[in-house]
Amino acid sequence: MAGRVLIVMGSDSDYDQLVPAWQVLESLGVGYEVFVASAHRSPERVLAIAQSARANGFGVVLAAAGGAAHLAGVIAAHTTLPVVAVPVVVGTLGGVDALLSAVQMPGGVPIASVGIGGARNAGFFAAAILSASEPAVAARLEAFRIEQTKNVDQADARVKAKLAAR
């Protein structure tokens, strides 16, 4: 499956927090590729990945980093693809720093952001972006939502049964 979602993480220490992103993409049949590249420690590599992203067939970028998280913004500076930040929980500020770095981009180079530690939603959001032009992805997202709604209805029935059994 060709990679349509480019996932870049600032460090391999981010790996565990990113797992839900590709789990979601796999469940929706969306191809992806994962890179480790740091805006601070390997800026040339970030530049090369970002500049070649569209030509390499990617439609959206997930950029995961913690601390003073410039990764998403730097990638967005070098591609016009949509970039979604995934603020990673790390360090004394627990991801608040990364979140604020993402959502306070100066005008002209926008990035979106999921919540702190929001890799699962990042996967869904990347799929939603692609679904605008890929009907198969849209259909799988729709099917997931229907299933999710059923699960809530089942939870409702379970809770009612539990209360009735007291």
CB of 66 to ligand RP5, least distance (A): 3
* Bridge partners (DSSP) listed for residue 35: 8
Beta strands in 70-159 (DSSP E): 83-87, 112-113
- Per-residue DSSP letter, 105: P
Answer yes or no whether residue 97 interacts with ligand RP5 by CB under 6 A. no
Answer yes or no whether residue 38 interacts with ligand RP5 by CB under 6 A. yes
3-class SS at 2? coil
CB of 112 to ligand RP5, least distance (A): 18
Site stretch for ligand RP5 (CB under 6 A), options 5-13, 45-53, 116-124, 151-159: 5-13
15 vs 160, which CB is nearer to ligand RP5?
Answer: 15
Answer yes or no whether residue 65 interacts with ligand RP5 by CB under 6 A. yes
The token pair at 26 is 């796999």
Q: How far apart are CA 27 and CA 144, in angstroms?
A: 9
State which of residues 67, 73, 117, 118 lies at the interface with ligand RP5 (CB under 6 A): 67
Buried b / exposed e over 35-65, threshold 16 CB at 10 Å, is: ebbbbeeeeeebbebbeebeeeebbbbbbbb
Answer yes or no whether residue 37 interacts with ligand RP5 by CB under 6 A. no
State which of residues 20, 59, 66, 123 lies at the interface with ligand RP5 (CB under 6 A): 66
The residue number whose beta carbon is nearest to ligand RP5 equals 10
Q: How many residues bind ligand RP5 (CB under 6 A)?
A: 10
